[in-house]
């Protein structure tokens, strides 16, 4: 069963564990990935720590009209930020543009607390900034 809603204009919300499973991240990656994890935090936050294989596009750029990066255009998008506030706004923007999107409740804080992988811009152990 999909956690993406039938009405793409109303994005759903998922836990960090559900997001990890749908994007093929960490121990929760059972059954393969069918969505892309889109991180909408600012560049300094992204560089400090993000999920491996996530795609980056700051909310500020998305709100200014930027399109999705190539790696996030092919299918459903799971949007994440630090705590879940910016990702909710980003999911709303994407849904209004016709993209199938959900946001992660608790953001990268909950992601890291769940023991899911976080890497920095050099591929080492990252932190949530």
Catalytically active residues are 81
Q: Kindly report the CA angle at 96 between 111 and 36, in degrees rounded to 5? A: 35
Task: Give the integer Cα–Cα distance in Å for 32 and 100.
Answer: 18
Token couple for 91: 């999911």
Q: What are phi and psi of 96, to 5 degrees?
A: -65, -25
Residues 6+ apart with CB under 8 A from 61: none
């Amino acid at each position: 069963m999909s956690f993406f809603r039938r009405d793409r204009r109303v994005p759903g919300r998922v836990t960090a564990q559900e997001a990890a499973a749908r994007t093929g991240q960490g121990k929760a990656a059972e059954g393969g990935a069918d969505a892309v994890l889109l991180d909408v935090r600012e560049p300094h936050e992204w560089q400090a720590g993000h999920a491996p294989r996530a795609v980056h596009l700051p909310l500020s750029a998305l709100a200014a009209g930027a399109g999705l990066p190539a790696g996030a255009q092919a299918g459903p998008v799971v949007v994440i930020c630090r705590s879940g506030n910016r990702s909710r706004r980003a999911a709303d923007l994407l849904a209004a543009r016709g993209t199938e999107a959900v946001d992660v409740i608790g953001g990268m804080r909950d992601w890291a607390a769940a023991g899911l992988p976080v890497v920095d811009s050099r591929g080492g152990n990252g932190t949530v900034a």
